[in-house]
Amino acid sequence: MSYSYDEQMFRQIIMDHYKTPRFKGLVEQPGFVTVHLKNPSCGDDMQVQTQVENGVITEVHHDGSGCSICCASASMMAQLVSGETIEQAQAKKQAFYDMVSGQGIDEELLDEAISLQGVAKLPPRIKCATLGWKAFEQTISKETVEQAEGVTIVTE
């Protein structure tokens, strides 16, 4: 089985994020929203923690266990949305969902996350790739951010 240069490069990016995840590890500080999600069909288990100040995502952390796609995707997500406004992060989230569902790729918004575009051809793996993103999405919902002023909210 031979792979194209892009496929090989994408595998390397995924494995780099899996082996050396960015923003991994939760913090014990006030003002964070933490959401814990599980994918019972494959065993992926992910927590995402976000802090928002004045509409800007100041910090995103993740921790959990699962397959390389799940863990690498969470790492890429945290790297992509840190420092962005909620609106910018939501646009990136939607672009990621569109890509993994086969609806197009926005390379400018997704940066290294485009390495996960092959997930669109593997429907059972879409849940793996989106688990961290779905947890992140819950951490930045308007209601959650408004409640988190100075306190930590944990949802299961």
Q: Using an 8 Å Cβ cutoff, are 14 and 72 in contact?
A: yes
pLDDT (tens digit, 9 = 90+) per residue, 46-86? Answer: 999 999 999 999 999 999 999 999 999 999 999 999 999 99
> Distance (Å, rounded) from C-alpha 94 to C-alpha 59?
20
- Percent with pLDDT over 70 in the chain: 87
pLDDT at position 153, please? 62
d(Cα 97, Cα 49) in Å, to the nearest integer?
20
Q: 47: domain CATH number? A: 3.90.1010.10
21, containing H or E segment: none
Q: What is the mean pLDDT of residues 9-26?
A: 97
Cα distance between residue 50 and residue 35, in whole Å: 9
- Other residues' Cβ atoms within 10 Å of the Cβ of residue 112: 17
Categorize the per-residue pLDDT at 35 as very low, low, confident or very high, splitting at 50, 70 and 90. very high
Which structural domain, as residue segments, surrounds residue 66? Answer: 5-23+30-155
**pTM of the full structure:** 0.90
**pLDDT value at 144 more than 90:** no
- How many folded domains does the chain comprise? 1
Q: What is the pLDDT of residues 84-135, one digit of tens each?
A: 999 999 999 999 999 999 999 999 999 999 999 999 999 999 999 999 999 9
